[in-house]
Structure formats: structure tokens, C-alpha cells
Chains A and B, each alone.
Chain A
Amino acid sequence: MSRLDLSGLRARPAQVWGAVRLVPLVRDEPITDLRLHRELYEDGPLTVRGERGTAYTAYVPHGFVANWTGDGSPAAAYGSQLGEERDPVVCAPLHLPRKLVQRRRGKDDGKGRAAGGPSGGLRFLPLHLALDGYLALHFGGPSIVWEEWTRRAVRDGLSPRAERAYRGEAVPGLDDALRVFEIHPGQCGVLVYVADALAAAFVVPHPDDYRALHPSLLQDLYGELMYQYALYGGPVPEFTVRIAAEYVTSLAELRSAAERREREWEGQHAALMAGELLDESYEVRQVYRMGRFRLSRFLPPFALHRTQHIGETITDGKGRVAYLKTFRLTEKQVRRGHVLHRLAAHDWHVGRTAEAMGISGPELVRRVTHLGFEGLLKQHTEAPAMRPG
């Protein structure tokens, strides 16, 4: 379990548009030996045949490619090598997304350069890692064939497992908020708040990458809650600066008061607004290693009645975040994770799990059914609970 380390990133004053508040994160020293750029896939949903007659289908609007160098020298983002090409690179059909992270094979692969240089970057699909981690949570299903579980649950696990999300374009007002947002010099990230609830965090290594990837926030996934907040949540107020005039006697004092307000905002933002993301401790799983960087995904502890985020991150040797993308879970998604966690911890034994949770067995059965896993349970398990005595 560990926390997200956003050191090196400073929050600048937020910009508000309707219900959306965008807080820019500025990096004093950009990371130059890891760069990201975007690829567009125009084929729509992708399907990949796997072994034993299984298939993986995904809608993938865009992918990220990370390029890095092993020796700390500057890496170039792919787009910048094409000279004036400012749009994302439109790509050939993507093969093998079954492995969600794959090394791109370049022509000079194997020349002994131990880095994801321009020819062979690391390709991954934004938020896929995080969502995959969440969807695959205890995907195997019951490990022991207790009588409550159906035959199918034991054979196929939780398959098919589904969650709903909204594209950024569907979230009302988000497009305008991103369009009128004024990107700060040196900006490497942004926190998106909808009706002052943290919807997503996005951090990249370099300001140029951010400038190129800023519109990609519109193609990302957002939870249903964010959609509803944006639809029904009214405009959020701007936190305008207040300076107490009584204590100001010179221009220098006025300036120091203004600077103090700026620092205060930074502290208040980290504590009050981003606290739920930064103070949580996460279960981090490393997925890929590239030079001094690690690509990993993280899951929250699935504690009930607390807003929680899943996400993926690239961290450097000291654990500082170079890349981050998060997705806010809805209350129901948190409950699903919670119940699955508890069941797995007690070997999927209904009675013991219920006891540990402090509820009765039938109540747990009711909850599992209610959370959309009714296919896992045999029909008659509920029957005794219905009949008193």
C-alpha cells in the first residue's frame, strides 16, 4: 500500500467554467527523459482473438506511447519528430491489445539501445490499465465450490463483467471548459472537478506533452456520477482573492499579501480539494518497467462511503509521479469492489464473510444480488431468508 507522490507539481489558481473547475498543475523542472504522445485509432471497436476461443473487444479512441532513454538524455515525443505535424498521429490498426501494454517493434530493434527510443516506444491505452484492474478484480470467482454459488460462477468466474462510463464529450460543459481553459506555462497536469467533486487527475512528464494531450481529456472515460453532477450541478463559484485593506500601508505589503494568497491556495487545494486522492493509500501493481520508470496501476482499499479513485501511473526511481490518470468510482462501484474483496478474503464462504461484515447471511446474499452479481448465486439461496422460521 502506498500513496501518490505529486512532489514537484504545484497547483496554480483554478479556472472555472460552469460546473467544471480545472486546477492546473505546474512542474518546475519538466521530466525530459520520458515523453508521451498520442495515437488515434480510427477503426472503432477492436476485437482480438485469444487462445481457446476467447476474444477481447475494446473501444479504443486513442493510445499513448511512452518514449524514454536509459541514460537520462532527453527523449523526443514522436509527434515532434514529424516536424510540423501538430495533430495526433493516426495509426495503423492496433494489433494485440490483449496485452494492454506492449512494446512497439521498431526497425532498429535489437541494436543494443536499452531504451524505448523513437523507434520502439511503449504503447498503452489510457485508463485501460486502471479499468482492467478494476474489472478483473477477483475475476476468477469462487475458489471453493460452496453450495450457494452456481455452477457457472465456479466455471467462468465473474465473466461477463461490465461497468458503465461516459465519454468526456457526453459530460455537459466539459468541452467548453477545456476549450476556454488557458494553459499555464510549464503546466504538466490538471485536476478536473465537476461540481467540486474530483472527477479525474491527469499528469504528464513534459509541458509540451500536456499541450498536445490536453484535448484528449475529452475522449476519456468519466463515471456516471460525474455526468449527473455536470448535468444537474449548477455553476461553481470562483475562489476570488480577498485582501484585507486595513493592514496594507505600502505597495510592497500589497505585493506580499498577494503572493501569500497564492501560496495559501496551493496548500488549501492539496488539503481540502485533492485530499481524497492524495491521502488515500493504494494497492499498486507494477505492470511494466522502462529504464528508471515504472508503469503501474493502483486500486483503492474499497472502503465504504468514501470517494475513491482507480488509476494508472508512471513513477520514477524515487516514486514521484511522472504520469497519472485516474477514474473516480461511483458509490456502487466502490461497494462492488468492497463486497468482492470481503468474499475473496474469506474464500467466498457466505456465512463467514457475513459474520466478518457484521450482517446476516441472507443480507449478504441480498447485497450481492443487488450489486449486479445475481448470476453467481443459486436461486434457492434466498428462499430460506424469505420464509420465517
Chain B
Amino acid sequence: MESCPDLVAAEDVLLFVNAAITATGQREFRSGAAEQRLSLDFLHEYVRINYRPLYAASLALDINDHNAALIVRRLLETAGEATADARRTEGRLIAARLARLPAPRVYRLFRALRAAGVNNRRTRAIIRDWVTARPDPALDAVKYRAGLKSAARHAHLPLRGPGEDGGELGDFLFAPRRRTRFATPLLDAWRRAHYEQGALYELPFTVAEGFAAAHGIRRRAFLERIAPRMTRLERLRVQESARAHGAGVDRELSGMPLTRLASYVLGLTLDDRVARRAELTGALRAAARRTAGARAGTWGRVAAVLDDSYSTTGSRQKRRRPLATALACHFLLEALAESYLPLWTSGRRDALLAHPYGPTPLGMRVLDALEHAPERLVIVSDGWDNAPPGLAGEVLRVWRTRLDPRGATSVVHLNPVYDAEDFTVRRLSPVVPTAGVRDAEDLPALVQLARFAEGRTGLAELRAHLDERVRQFLAEAEAETVRRTEGAAG
């Protein structure tokens, strides 16, 4: 038997991990952005002070980018509280995590560090290492000009690549008028784009967009010519606006991440989804199979209760995010399972036409699912069971205590919404483990993590699990660095 403080600690850490997976500090369906942020800030503070090693270790988990950046920032702000040994581990974790974060978010983090006045030697080293590891400094200078500039200023970066002539990048950022032309083609294209329309099509899409507006270029012509310079996600994002303008931007839905693809599908009108049914379903299935990988078809009989009630509308910032997660989980579970039974709360059969509608009769759907005696039952819902309230919890409790005490069916509840008032995701019942979920891709890992949430496993096991994850994470990151340096050398 674990001692009481250990159980509390395990619970606290899980609470924090669940929050760090789901919360983004943005507005949710039931709470505003300020509430979310206040709640999340408190949680970060609490866990950092009480469980600093675990706080740092959570960087190795599938937490979302917003929280990863927050953790890095808080660790660097309070570096003095850690021992030298702990600082070394933290440093490696931070470097590994930064390498995986999208560049805009890292630049935003550096700017936040600057605003907070954090400028110790360690922070400067971290910034320097990250910037030198960037594959194309010229691209960063053009695309994230303000970000790189502020990072360079803050960390006193030399901004001089090995094979580069004296300080072109520095001049580009801090004194662009000093030179009449730049030797690097991308930098020169940026200079020319100020007066030459043709030059802006050599720039990245987001930068070119600003120049196009300044030159008064029609949207349609612009989109068609800039299309080859767009990234994959940009192409997906402008798909519908391009269609409205009659510009042809080819879409390649294959190779897109599963949840991102589900979000895209939910943004289409129902008529479009019907018309493109084969294409969309094919892309979703392919993404799900790719995510499932070797695990495809190994989960046995699976039933899923998926929430498509009105509350899955999300908010203005997170449009239909809970529904997109549910839809992505639907396709992933289909790929993982041998036989699969999806049950949407609205009673809909056609997953592709999912839209937020009606109340959340989770209890009845759980009953329907249990009737098929599945090996695994996965519930994806925000946990606001309201028709009638609390029925799902009661059904699961009675099922667990009376009808299936040996646990022949393993039940797990995945919740995509952070509840600001409870400091964690909303639970359905104490007998069912609940885990936060943001991207359906993490589902297998989350199901693994969720077993800790049942309250039976203690801190020691959880710590072992975290240590294992940290070890894997750092090993992967180091392998990646080695690969990159070799690639650069070869």
C-alpha cells in the first residue's frame, strides 16, 4: 500500500499532465480565455514548486506546445531553485523539447523570456544552440524577422554562419539599408520584393502575403503563383478561401496529420462532404492507418462512445476542436480494432457528416455500447453528461461493481476539454480512468497513461514510467541531432 502523500503526489502529477495535454489558454465552450489562463497558471505554479523534477519530466510527454513553452519559460525563470545536477537534466529536456516545437512558438517563447528579463548564461546558451541548429538561417531571418531579431538582441548572438561573408544576416536584421544587395538569394528577394512584384513569389507564403497586399495584387493571381512556395499546412489552410476566389491550389490530403485532417473535414459544408465522400474518407482512413502503424488490428473488439453534442462546437478560437478530436479518434480506433462499433451521442451513423447537435445522453450510449460486450470501451467526451445528468457515471459504476467486477471490459474516458474550475479534465466516474486528449494520434499512449489515473498505482510506478519516457525522449532527440549533423556534414 502506498502512503497517503505518495498517492496525493501521483494524483497531482496526473492532474497536471491531463491539464497540460488539453489546456491551451484559449476560450472554451464553457469558460473564457481569462479563466482558462488563470487556472492553468495556478496549476503550473503549484506543480513547479512542489514537484519540480516531475514538472520538468513532463516535457517528455505528449503535452501540447502551449504548455511546453510555459514549462520551459518557468523553468528558466526559476533556475536558481534547482540543484546543479537537476539543472543539467532540465537543460537537456528543454533543448530536446525546443527542437520539436514549431519555430514561431519558440520565437514567441524567447520574446517572453526577454520581456520577463530572464537573461542568464544558461538561457543565452539555450537560445544560441537552438538558433544555430536551425536548418536555414536566411529563411528564419525573412520569415521570423522580428522573432530572430529579438532573440539575437537578447542573447547577443553573433549571427554568422560558418560559410557566410561578414555579418550579412546581422545587417539584414538590424540595418537592411546598409547594403545595396545581399548575396543570399532569399535575403535579396526580400529586398527586391519592396518594389518588384515578381520577387515576392520567391519568398515564403506568409511574408509574400504582406507584400502582395502592399502591391495590391489580386488574391486569385497571388494564390495561384505562390502555391508552390506554400507549406503543406498552409496549402490545407487556404484550400477553401482559394476555392472561393476561383484559384487552383492543389491539395494533397495524403500525408496530413489525422486530427488536422479531421478539423479540415469538419470545416467543410455537409454538401461538400457528401460530394467528396470517397476522397475525404480515403484520406482519413490512410492517415489513421499510418498513425496506427504496427498496432493496426491488434485491439480486438472495440466500442467507442463519441460525443457530437452541441458543446463540441468549441469556441471561436477552437472551432469544433472537441468534435475534430472525436472524429479523428473514430478513424484511429477503426484502424486499431479488429471489430469496431462507433456510437455517436446524437445517434448519427455517418461519421463523415458529424456536426455539433443536441444534448449529451452519454449514459444511454454507454449502455448501448456495453450490450455488445466489447473488450475495450473508449469514451471521447467533454464529460458534461446532461441527458440525464450523471447517468453515464452511474452506469459505469454499477457495471464495474456488479456486472463486470473482474474488468473483462477495459473502459477509458478521453476528454478534450480542460475544465478551468476543477483544474483538470472533467471525469465521468471515479471507477473509470480519465485522460486528457488533444490529438487523436496520442491515443495509444494516453490509454497507457490513463491506467495510472485509476488511483491504484502509486507514485513509484508513475515515476518509473516517467523516467522511462524521459529516457526514450532524450535518446530520440540525440539520435535526431546526430542524424542532422551527419546530414549537414555529408
Asked if A241 meets B403 with Cβ closer than 8 Å, knowing A180-B29, A251-B371, the reply is no
B309 interface residue (CB < 8 Å to A): yes
Chain B residues contacting A24 (CB-CB under 8 Å) are: 359
Residue B325, interface by CB 8 Å: no
User: A238 near B363 (CB under 8 angstroms)?
Assistant: no
Interface centre among A24, A182, A245, A249 (most CB of B within 10 A): A182
Question: In the complex, are the beta carbons of B389 and A13 less than 8 A apart?
Answer: yes
Cβ of B387 < 8 Å from any Cβ of A?
yes
Q: What are the residues of chain B within 8 A of A335 when measuring CB–CB?
A: none
Nearest to B32 among chain A residues (CB) is A176
Task: Bin chain B's interface residue count.
Answer: 20 to 34
Is the pair B359, A243 in contact by a Cβ cutoff of 8 Å? no
How many angstroms from the CA of A255 to the CA of B399 in the assembled complex? 11
A255 to B357, CA, bound (A): 24
Partner of B364, one of A182, A184, A239, A258: A258
CB pair B394–A180 under 8 Å, yes or no, is: no
In the complex, chain A residues whose CB is within 8 Å of the CB of B364: 258
Closest-CB distance, B470 to chain A (whole angstroms) = 39
* Contact B401–A245 (Cβ < 8 Å): yes
Answer whether residue A262 sits at the interface, using C-beta atoms and an 8 A cutoff.
Answer: yes
Give the Cβ gap from A238 to chain B, nearest Cβ, in Å.
5
Does chain B have a CB within 8 A of A183? yes
Please state if B358 and A184 are interface contacts (CB–CB under 8 Å): yes
Q: Which of A13, A16, A182, A248 is the one whose CB lies under 8 Å from B403?
A: A248
Question: B431 to nearest A CB, angstroms?
Answer: 11
Complex contact A241–B388 (CB within 8 A): yes
B386 proximal to A (CB < 8 A): yes
For window 187-246 of B, CB contacts with A under 8 Å fall at: none
B102 to chain A, nearest CB (A): 32
B398 beta carbon closer than 8 Å to chain A: yes
0/1 interface trace, chain B 40-82, chain A, CB 8 Å (1 if under): 0000000000000000000000000000000000000000000
B367 touches A245 (CB 8 A): no
* Mask: chain B, 357-372; 1 = CB below 8 Å from A; 0 = not: 1111001100100110
A185 CA / B358 CA spacing, docked (Å): 6
Of the candidates B370, B388, B393, B394, the one whose C-beta lies within 8 Å of that of A13 is: B388
Query: Contact at B386–A182, with CB atoms within 8 Å?
Result: yes
The yes or no answer to B9 lying at the interface (CB within 8 A) is no
A184–B386 Cα gap in the complex (Å)?
11
Which residues of B approach A to under 8 Å, CB–CB?
Answer: 29-30, 309-311, 346, 357-360, 363-364, 367, 370-371, 386-391, 393-395, 397-399, 401-403
A182-B359, A245-B398 given; 11 more Cβ-contact pairs under 8 Å: A13-B388, A180-B311, A182-B360, A185-B346, A185-B357, A238-B390, A239-B388, A241-B391, A248-B402, A254-B395, A258-B367
List the 3 closest pairs (A to B, CB-CB), nearest first. Answer: A240-B390, A13-B388, A182-B310
Which residues of chain A have a CB within 8 Å of any CB of chain B? 12-16, 24, 180, 182-185, 238-243, 245, 248-251, 254-255, 258, 261-262, 265
